[in-house]
Amino acid sequence: MPREEIWTEKYRPRKLDEVAGQDHIISNIKSYVRRKNLPHLIFSGPAGVGKTAAAVAMARELFEDTWSENFTELNASDERGIEVVRNKIKNFARTMPIGGSDFKIIFLDEADALTDAAQSALRRTMERYSGTCRFILSCNYSSKIIDPIQSRCSVYRFKSLSYDALKARILYIAEKEGLKLSKDTVKALNYVSMGDMRRAINALQSVAVLDTEIKPEMIYEITATARPEEIEDLIKEALGGNFFEALDKLEALLDNGISGDEILAQMHRRVINMDISARQKVELMDRIGETDFRITEGANERIQLDALVAALCLLSAEN
């Protein structure tokens, strides 16, 4: 029996037209491919929105059969010091392109993890070998890339994927794999992924092992995510002054393996869309943010979550 391939690799876009949800950026990249030339680039944005996929697809279309020889991918978070620039990057940059191409491409993933010294060395390498090598720096936060590098690059900011973009790709994969997905299931995948295509595809593959008919509750369970309704019920019970009922709902979420950080993140997302006054939303955000900070600083997670519920109940009494 053949080994099951990871779907994020199996369905990785091979062409620029297959990269979902970044139409404006892709149209610009296509113009580089048509001209057979490009500047140094910075791809900035959240995880799982198509930065690496766009770079690889561009290399495939630009170099065609020789793309793997003229394209190399390095992850800066693995080796973030100056030596990786002096050795690996410089050695690849100084070699001539293959197959009649004018230049090679170095794709540096998580470039914002490079130290300032490594980035300074990278700047000099970019200047020295710009005739035979182009750099594509991928990062979550372009502000962490030093200004001398930013000024030498065209910066493209990728956005989180929209529901329609994620839906189209998920339904395509479901059709290829013989899965049945309802509209609510796609909405559940969109909710748990938060615009991250990689997370959505991984969740889909995880539940596909269980059954070919995918239901929303399977998505929430496999990803250890609370349903939006459960989070809203918890908040409403606390705002209604029902302290013990709210604690019971919190206990149920924790018993299902949902972490405190995840509960807070979901509360933050849900409060925005709840039908409550703007003042209540502001106060809720303030309490949630304070609880998140305390847990991050090392406070006991359960005590802080219980204290948050208590604070919401007191807030209800004050109002």
CB 224, CB 259: distance < 8 Å: yes
pLDDT at 9: 87
pLDDT at 79: 59
Kindly report the length of the chain: 319
Same fold, 7-157 and 228-318: no
Domain boundaries, the chain: 7-157, 163-221, 228-318
- Provide the β-strand partners of residue 157: 44
pLDDT at 69: 87
Q: Does domain 7-157 have CATH number 3.40.50.300?
A: yes
pLDDT at 174: 93
- CA-closest candidate to residue 133, choices 198, 83, 164, 88: 88
Q: CATH number of the domain at 228-318, please?
A: 1.20.272.10
Tell me the mean pLDDT per 10 residues along the chain, length 319: 72 89 90 90 91 92 88 73 68 80 88 84 85 90 90 91 92 92 93 91 92 91 90 91 92 89 91 86 92 92 93 78
100: left (phi over 0), alpha (psi -120 to 50) or beta: left
pLDDT at 302: 92
pLDDT at 2: 45
- Provide the β-strand partners of residue 108: 74, 137
133-150 per-position pLDDT tens digit: 899 999 998 888 999 999
pLDDT at 156: 93
- CA-closest candidate to residue 186, choices 167, 162, 169, 212: 167
d(CA 2, CA 142): 41
Q: Does domain 163-221 have CATH number 1.20.1440.230?
A: no
